[in-house]
Structure 1
């Protein structure tokens, strides 16, 4: 196998070694793979590794997999570990079949609709990767959603909703003192008293834009913060509005981390390649 380039991303290392990003991070933790450089994004850092070090690991992977297998058995117990691996295999098979069925179904849709749905499918999985330590992917997500905004409409199944959330309140020293004297948390004090005129406020801090893609049997839903996407819209007042449900400090997350089985069926390299191809179709 010829490995081109001096450095490789996590996605490329996963592809070359036949492992998931979870296992790449394990190689780092165990001192078997060293991060040589990083690429900084607004949302996080993308890690890069020496290609020659990856090449040296290739013949060692069967032994490493056996080692991880025995360590998992010892940690979980043989039966539980075997059950977990069986579940992972089933998840991989299920996600592979779903991917194949979904992509085949796009043949029956108009070209532009199929393009939007295909991008939405891989963006759905990118969201899951981003929730599992690959935060830099949120920059790519933003580029894709910006392209949705610019080039697609309700005719292709895209609807965008402004979800109005609460303002962010940073308590002044006086309000913090009052909260401590009352024996309550700052969060509870903000919820009960909303601060005072000396407290700092940031409007729409918890507001979101919701991107709904619905066409035929397929449905996707994505969110991006107000601060990220507000400049994409000429007049936000023209968008459909709804109020964001209040939950604690408003810091709840949408989506879930990717599972091991899902990561094997829809690889990180495949996800980034598909979405970069989608963006490239417009440049």
Structure 2
């Protein structure tokens, strides 16, 4: 089947099936490392799927494979009915209208030498927008993410981490995508700023009907953001279901260990969770 043939569930915006990704070993005799081992997930239009797992579980690799940034060994990635796992550079540029990403670190995801206006104009001009159209759209984007209009002429160093992440969100929204991959978008921010950014993402979803693949190691953040949750462990999806169920009464032992490891404000409850987690074994050995 070619990259332009259709496949997947008809109601799914994104349909990933039996996805396998391997990275070559460091030495010529070193075998490849299997990072994803037959992963499957779906996202419907307007839905947020939370993808949760510990560091090294393969969760970010799924997002990178969807974006064409990780080599797919086998399996399929279908977006809006089209197979895209082997799409070429030209097709990827066209897909960027509908498929965007917000990276983890707001300090490194923005070019420090370019103004915010130049950063936001780049995807617009790349898709053929004129200067006047781009300027109008940039003003709309800054307003959408609650930044002042004069932000366009300023450099990233003049903004806080939370404000920079708002700029990154504006850049992702510039082309009015249908799906945004949020790769740990708040993990580098303090708790107060995290809530502000999460509220902004929810507000944008309610206004536009955008869908998110929300990648995180934090079950509490995933619970707040997601309609459904998929839990990944050592390159395999071990549990998928309704967010409220998965993040409060999970079935899989690994998910229960993740839940026990999640921080809570109550000191006594945190102590109880820590003791239960130690009895169950560390997350890495779960």
TM-score (norm 2): 0.26
TM-score (norm 1): 0.26
Indicate the structure with greater strand content: 2
User: Higher Cα Rg: structure 1 or 2?
Assistant: 1
